[in-house]
Amino acid sequence: MRRFLDLADFERDEISALLELARRLEKCPEPHALAGKILGLLFFNPSLRTLASMQAGMARLGGTSFVITPGQGTWQLETKLGAIMNGAAAEHVREGIPVLASYCDALGIRAFADGKDLAYDLAETNFNAMAELVDKPLINLESAANHPCQALADWKTMDDLQVPRGGRFVLSWAYHPRPLPLAVPSAAVHMAAMRGMEVIVARPEGFALPPMIMDKARKAAARSGGSVRETADLTDALQGADIIYAKEWGSTAHYGDVAGDARLRAELQSWCVRNDWFAKAASECRLMHCLPVRRNTAIADEVLDSPRSIVQREAYNRLVVQTAVLYQMLKGV
């Protein structure tokens, strides 16, 4: 495996094999598998799980990592082509990224959406421009519209708990004080569709997922026997849910327009997941969230502290599945 950028780049069989490898390495660790290998980690945005679990994953396999955080101990990096660099950024990614790639055996990059132009972000303009500069194995640690490590961990989490392949997966919008990127909702609907689930996206008016994201998920559903639909009727969506996957994101009707987004958002504080959301769900219905989550804003304490919540297992599975990705990418290379 040279690149782990999007679950859509893989066949279902390949994902199954990767999850099988993850389970094997979890049971039978191989502490010397990546001895002498180096993973470079480039974070343009904050991180807790990714930062810790990527380092831990390399260490579990006997490898090493280094972390670069532009603006914190490192120069700010310019990403725009043709820029006349007389501002804050001291270095361009066209230099910085190939240099970092030359110091390691694989590189991981996190670069969130700009949040100004929807088409620009959906096209992964920024991430792709950087990816083109990397001649080593590359991992997407969350880009404008994707988060394959999270999606893979979520898939394994549902497998672990025997959530039915054809079960009902409700991705519900949740309240947050500010607009957040589309990376996780986009990755989650595609992953659930690819897993063969009945996917329902429940979100207020003005927060519909872009057609490009929905179409990609529908294409995956068509191959797996799943389905994908969208609704503003939360009550209806939650009926019979096997999974409620809560996620905050910005208004797509007002993308890049903070004031327009805020006007809609102000009325939506009731989209905080509470126990009563599970009233008509399947009895075993679980709560998923990629974390970080704002308690009592996006999800109430009563839900996060209940046995329905499997957010800890999702986070732990980040380590487990990434270990498999690193192994497959770097072992024997």
159: nearest Cα among 328, 19, 280? 19
Choose the binding region for its own copies from 46-54, 112-120, 211-219, 259-267 (rule: CB under 8 A): 46-54
HEC sequence for 203-259 = CCCCCCCCHHHHHHHHHHHHHHCCEEEEECCHHHHHCCCCEEEEECCCCCCCCCCHH
Choose the binding region for its own copies from 54-62, 148-156, 273-281, 325-333 (rule: CB under 8 A): 54-62
Q: Nearer to its own copies by C-beta: 13 or 73?
A: 73
Tell me, what amino acid is at 24?
R
Binding status of residue 34 toward its own copies by CB under 8 A: no
Q: Which helix (H) or strand (E) holds 7?
A: none
From the list 10, 21, 26, 62, which residue makes contact with its own copies (rule: CB under 8 A)? 62
Task: Measure the CA–CA gap between 303 and 307, rounded to whole angstroms.
Answer: 8
DSSP class of residue 129 equals H
Binding status of residue 331 toward its own copies by CB under 8 A: no
Binding status of residue 225 toward its own copies by CB under 8 A: no
Using alpha carbons, list the distances in angstroms from residue 22 to 16, 201, 219, 255: 10, 29, 26, 37
From the list 11, 20, 24, 46, which residue makes contact with its own copies (rule: CB under 8 A)? 46
Q: Nearer to its own copies by C-beta: 236 or 305?
A: 305
Binding status of residue 157 toward its own copies by CB under 8 A: no
How big is the site for its own copies, counted in residues (CB under 8 A)? 63
Choose the binding region for its own copies from 94-102, 138-146, 196-204, 221-229 (rule: CB under 8 A): 94-102
HEC sequence for 271-320 = CCECHHHHCCCCCCCEEECCCCCCECCCECHHHHCCCCECHHHHHHHHHH
**Coil, helix or strand for 54?**
helix
Count of other CB atoms within 10 angstroms of residue 7:
23
Binding status of residue 125 toward its own copies by CB under 8 A: no
Tokens of 155: 């898939």
- The 241-270 contact track toward its own copies, x by CB under 8 A, reads ------------------------------
Tell me, what amino acid is at 142?
E
Q: CB of 131: closest distance to its own copies in angstroms? A: 17
Binding status of residue 295 toward its own copies by CB under 8 A: yes
Residues of this chain that bind its own copies (CB under 8 A): 29, 31, 35-36, 38, 40, 43, 46-49, 51-53, 55-56, 59-60, 62, 64, 66-69, 72-75, 78, 82-86, 89-92, 94-96, 98-100, 102-104, 177, 291-297, 301, 304-305, 311-312, 315-316, 319
